[in-house]
Amino acid sequence: MKQFFVACCIFIYSSIAQAGLIDSQKLLTAPEYAQFALSPDGDNVTYIQRAAKSYLIVNYNVKEEAAVAVKNVHHSNMLLDKYWINNDVLFFELEGKRFDHSFIAKKTQSGKFKEVRLDKYWTVIRGYKGDGKHILISEWKRNTQYQVSLVQIESLFSHQRPKKKVLFTSNYGDGYMFYESSVDQLIGYKSEEKEVTVSSRSLEGSKWVPLLTMNFEERDFFAPIGFLDNRTMVVLSNRDSDKISVYKYSLDDKKISGLIYGNNTYDVTDARIEEGRVVSVTYMKHGKPHHEYLSKEREAFKGRLSKELEGQVLTTLDIDQDRNSYLLHASSPTHAGTWYHFNSVDNKFTRLISAYEELESYKLASTQLIKATSKDGIKLEGWLTQPRVNNRNTLIVMPHGGPIGVQDSNEFRHEIQLLANRGFTVLRVNFRGSSGYGKEFQKLGVGALGGEIESDILTVIDKVNEQYSFKHTCAMGASYGGYSSVMLAINEPQRFDCVVAAYGIYDIPYLFSSSNFHGKEEFQSKIEGAVGSKEEASSKPSPVYLASKLNVPIFLIAGRRDYVAHFEHSNRFKQVLDMHNKDVETLFFKKVGHGQSQWYRQRQETLAVIDFLERKLNLPKLVPDSDDAKEILTRELIETAEMYYAEDVLLEPNYKLAMHFNKRAAEQGSAEGLYNLGLINQYGKGVETDLEQAREYFQQSSELGYRDAKVALAKMYFHGIGVERETDKVHDILDSITEITEHQQESLLRLMLYCQAPKSDKHQARCLDYPKDFVKKFEQGTVGTLARLIVSAETPQGVKDNLIKFVSELYEINDVKFKLNTRKMGTYVWSRHPGYGWRDKLVPVEDAEVTMDNTKQCYLEAFVDLEGFDGGKRTAAIMRWEAFKDGKLEDDSYTLYRGETSKAWQYAVSMKEGATDLLYKVSVFNLHGELVDSFECNNN
C-alpha cells in the first residue's frame, strides 16, 4: 500500500532542512527510486521503486498524475534493461539463475499493463522503432548462429505462435547488436583476441560492412559514440591530442577526419548527438560533470531551468519523439539526485521524485574545491568535505584506487556523507596518474607509487592546513588507496595518527605472481601500466617489507575472495605487522571480493571504521540529543556487533568486540543488546560459558518486552539449561508474548511444551495440529523437533505414537525397524592429495595429508538394513549429536534422515574448531525412538 501511496503522491516532498544525526540506514542503502525512462510521446515515465524484499516496475502518467504497477519483482531478479518500444509497449529484462528473462508489457484500455514472457532464446535488439508494431529479435539457433527476425507485437498476446518474419542468420552474438535509428542500420560487434570490429548492415542487406576496428592493446583512447550521417561517426579519442576530444571519423577513409570539440584542461567523457549534430559535450570540471552546450538552442534551454536548480548538475536523460518533453536528472555533492519532467510547450517543470526521499529533509555536508601545485609544477585538484555537526577536529585523507586511469569526483558519495555526519573532515585528491586530465598527466603516475603520488597528496594536505587546523589526521583508502594510506603513514609518521587500509596491495612484486591469471602476459602488461616494469617491481616500496616503520594503529580490511588485490596481500601484511608487535586490527570477510557488494555489509564496515577511529584517537563518543538520535546510535551498535559475532561473515569472529558493542547498546537501554549478551554467555563465545549470567541477561531483556529473549529464557526453563526444569514458568513466559507474527523458535517451543506438558485439552489438540501447519512453513526445524519429541522420555507414549504415525504418512515410510551395516565411523577431516586427483575427500584424521580446512567431522557412513527382504524400501532414522564438556552436555541437535535402503547413508557433524575439550557423540534411533547404534568422536 505504501508503494502506491508514494507513487501517487509523487510530487509531494518536504523542504524543511535538518542538520542533526542522520540514520546510516538512510545514507548507506540502495536508492528507493531508480532507472527512469520516458515514453516516445513524452506522457509516461517508468521507474523502479524498491521495497524490503522486492521492487516494483511502475508507470507514471504525467498528464493524469497517476501511477500504476507494471510488475512486482523479487530482489534476486535484477533488472538488466528497460525501455519503451512504442507509446503503449514496454520491454524489460530480468536476471535469472540459469537464463535471463525478457518481457513485453502492453498498456490496456484501463491503464494497467498486461505482460508476456518472451522465448528464452530471444534477445530483443535495442533501438529498433520501425512501425511501432514489431520488435526486432536475435534468436540463438546453434553454436554461434543467430537468426534475426521481426516479430509482430500483437501476436505475442494472442496465445498462439507469434507471427515472425525471418530476415537473415548471423554469427554476430545476441548481446553484440543494436539498431541505430539515425542511419537505419543494424550495428554489430565482433570480438577477437586483441581487437573488436564494428560492422553495420541494413535489414534488407545481404552482408555486414566493416566500419572500424579497435585494438585492445592500443594505449590511446578511442571510442565511437554515434553517427552524424551514414558515412561519418562521432568518436572520443586522444590519438591526436593530449586530452580526449570529440572528433568526426570518416567511414570511407577509416580515420579521424576533423575536430568537433576539445578542452584544454579536461578529457571529454561524453557527447550528445541530436538530428545529425553534436549538441553538447560532457567533462568533469572541478570534479563535477559539466555539460557544455554547442547549440544556442540547448544553451537557452539550460538557462530556462538554471534558476530552478541552482548549484545542481542537470542532465538530459531522454527526449520525446516531438522534442517537446524532457526527462531530466539533477544532482550535486549534497544531493543524490532528483528526476524532473519538463514540457517545453506548456513551459511546465514538474518534480517527479528523488532517489532518496528520506534524505530530502536533511542538510548534508558540502564540499570545497582545493587547488594546489606540486613541487615539479603539476596542477592538482582535491575536495574537502567538512562536517556540519559533531565536528571532531579530525582529517581523514582518502586516496583513490587505481592508481592509473581512475579519478575521484565531487559528486554525492554515501560513505563520505556518513563520515562527515559523524564529525570527520574528508580530503580526496586527484594525484598524478588520475584520469580526466589528459594522457600526459596520467602517464606521470606510472611507477610513481609510494613516491610522487604520495607527494602530490601531501601537497594538497599542506594547502588545506593553510586554511584549517586539525588535532588528528588519518589516512584511509581502498585498493591502491589502501597501499597509499599505509605509505603516507610510513613516510610521514609525524603527520598521521592512524591508517585504515581496505582491499589493498602491500607487496608489489607479488602483484605479478599472485595467481595463474596474474601471470598471463596481457595481465602483466596491465600491471606494468600502473606500477612500472616487472624488473623494477622489487625496487618499489612495499608495506610488507617496511612494516617495522609503521608506528600508528592500522585497521586492515580484506575479502577472502578478492582476486584483484589478492587476499594474500593483506594476510602477509597482517603476519608481518604481528611479528613487529604493531597495533593492528583486522576485518577479514569470508565471502567478499574486492569490496562489498551488499549495502548492509558496507554499512557495517563503515560503522566499524568509525568505531576504530573513535577508539584509537580517543575521541569522545557522540552524545544523542534526542530519542531519535539515541535509537539511531543504538541500532548501529547492534548492527556492528552482529558483524563481529556472525561466524559466516568474518574469517575469525571477534567476540570481544561483539561484546563491547552489545554492552554499549545495553547501556543505552537496548533489549536486543541484552539478549545478545545472553547468547554470548550461554554459548561461551569469547568468554567462559556462564548460564546464570545468560539467564540474567535474558530476564532483563524479557522485562523490556523483547520477544527473542522471552523465547530464549523459556527454552532454558523448559530444557533445564542452568536452572531447574519448570514447565509452569515456561507457560507463563510464553503467555506474556503478545506479538502474533510468525516466530519459528517460539512456535517449535510451544510444540514441545504442548506435547510434553499441556495445561488444557486445547494444548493437547495443538500438539497434534501444529506439526501439520509448521511442516509447511519451516520443515527442517519442525521435523527436528518431532525427532526430539519421539526420542525424549518426557513425551507420553500416546503422543509419540501419533507423531510417529504423522511422520510415517508424511514421508511414506514403509518400515521402521532396521540395523546399521557400518562402513565408516569416527573422527574424519577433509584432505587433499594426488591419490584423489587433488580433490578434497573425507578421510580418518590420522590418514590426512594436506588439509585445506582444519574443521574435524564426526562422520558416519552405513547401509540401513531392514528385517528380511526390503527391496529398497523407504525408511527413516533419527540422528542426534551431542557435545559434552567435562561430562556435561553443552549442545545437541536432532534431525530426521530418510530415504531408500539401496544406497549408503552419510551423516557428518562439523565439530567446533579449536574446542579440543569437547567430546562429540552421535546416536542413531529408529522412528520408534529406539537406539540402534552410537559412537564418540574426539576433537583433539
Tell me the DSSP string of 186-233.
Answer: EEEEEE-SSEEEEEEE-TT-SS-EEEEEEETT-SS-EEEEEEEETTEE
pLDDT (mean) for 846-869: 79
Cell numbers linked to 464:
588545506
Residue 1 pLDDT greater than 50, yes or no: no
- The pLDDT confidence band at residue 381, using thresholds 50, 70 and 90, is very high
- Confidence band (pLDDT; 50, 70, 90) for 528? low
| Nearest one of 470, 427, 423 to 614, comparing CA atoms | 423
- DSSP letter for 357, please: G
Strands 472-478 and 222-229: unpaired
Q: What is the pLDDT of residue 582?
A: 96
- What's the CA gap between 661 and 653, in Å, rounded? 14
The band of 9, judged by pLDDT with boundaries at 50, 70 and 90, is very low
Phi, psi of 698 (to 5 degrees): -60, -40
- Please name the residue that has the C-alpha cell 534488407: 204
| Residue 26 CB burial class (10 angstroms; 0-12, 13-18, ≥19) | middle
* Alpha helices by DSSP H, 448-500: 452-467, 480-491
Which of 747, 659, 738, 745 lies closest to 708 in space, CA to CA? 745
Burial of 700 per CB tally in 10 Å (0-12, 13-18, 19+): middle
- Please give the pLDDT value at position 13: 39
**What H or E segment, with its residue span, contains residue 416?**
helix 414-421
pLDDT for residue 5: 32
Q: Residue 480's pLDDT is what? A: 94
- In this prediction, what percent of the chain has a pLDDT beyond 90? 67
Mean model confidence pLDDT for the chain: 89
Question: Residue 7 pLDDT more than 70?
Answer: no
Instruction: Evaluate if residue 596 carries a pLDDT over 70.
Output: yes
Residue 843 pairs in a beta bridge with 829
Q: Is the pLDDT of residue 8 over 50?
A: no
Q: Quick one: pLDDT at residue 866?
A: 81
In 10 A of CB 881, how many CB atoms? 21
Selection from 109, 102, 146 nearest residue 124 by Cα: 102
Cα within 13 Å of Cα(775), Cβ side: 18
Per-residue confidence (pLDDT) for residue 295, from 0 to 100: 78
Nearest Cα residue to 450 out of 541, 573, 551:
541
**pLDDT band at residue 346 using 50, 70 and 90 as cut-offs:** confident
Residue count of the chain, please give it.
940
Can you give the pLDDT at residue 835? Answer: 54
Residue 175 pLDDT class (50, 70, 90 cuts): low
Residue 514: pLDDT band with limits 50, 70, 90: low
Q: Which residue has the higher pLDDT, 531 or 865?
A: 865
Most confident range (mean pLDDT) of 614-618, 818-822, 904-908 is: 614-618
Residue type, 510: Y
Mean pLDDT of 642-653: 92
Rounded to an integer, the average pLDDT of 504-522 is: 71
Q: What is the pLDDT of residues 893-925, one digit of tens each?
A: 999 988 888 888 999 999 887 788 889 999 999
Strand partners, 367: 385
All 3 cell numbers of residue 272? Answer: 550528445
Mean pLDDT of 320-329: 91
pLDDT of residue 174: 62
Q: What span, in angstroms and rounded, lies between the C-alpha atoms of 172 and 167?
A: 14
CB neighbourhood size of 423 (10 A): 20
- Mean pLDDT score, 863-875: 72
Tell me the mean pLDDT in the region 779-795: 95
Q: What pLDDT, in 10s, does the model give residues 667-706?
A: 999 999 999 999 999 988 889 889 999 999 999 999 999 9
Which pLDDT does position 10 carry in this prediction? 40
Tell me the average pLDDT across 278-300.
88
Q: Give dist(CA 858, CA 936) in Å, integer.
A: 8
Q: How far apart are CA 903 and CA 923, in angstroms?
A: 20
In this prediction the pTM is: 0.88
Give the sheet arrangement for strand 918-925, strand by strand.
Answer: 888-900, 874-885, 918-925, 931-938
Note the pLDDT of residue 4: 36
* Amino acid symbol at 405: G
- State residue 17's pLDDT score: 45
Q: Is the pLDDT assigned to residue 758 strictly greater than 80?
A: yes
What is the average per-residue pLDDT within 552-577? 93
Q: How confident is the model at residue 141 (pLDDT cuts 50, 70, 90)?
A: confident
Look at residue 852 and tell me whether its pLDDT is greater than 70: no
Residue 3 — left, alpha, or beta (φ > 0 → left; ψ -120 to 50 → alpha)? alpha
> Which residue is it, cell 585523507?
397
- The rounded distance, in Å, linking the Cα atoms of 559 and 555 is 14
CA-CA distance, 387 to 748, in Å (whole number)? Answer: 50
Q: Does residue 518 have a pLDDT over 70?
A: no
Average pLDDT over residues 112-133: 91
Residue 386 confidence (pLDDT): 96
Q: Where is mean pLDDT largest: 90-104, 213-227, 776-790, 842-856?
A: 776-790
User: What mean pLDDT do residues 389-406 have?
Assistant: 94
For 179-224, write each residue's pLDDT tens digit.
998 899 999 888 877 788 889 999 988 888 889 888 876 778 888 9
Strands (E), 298-343: 313-319, 325-332, 335-343
Collapsing DSSP to helix, strand or coil, 851 comes out as coil
The pLDDT, as a whole number, for residue 681 is 94
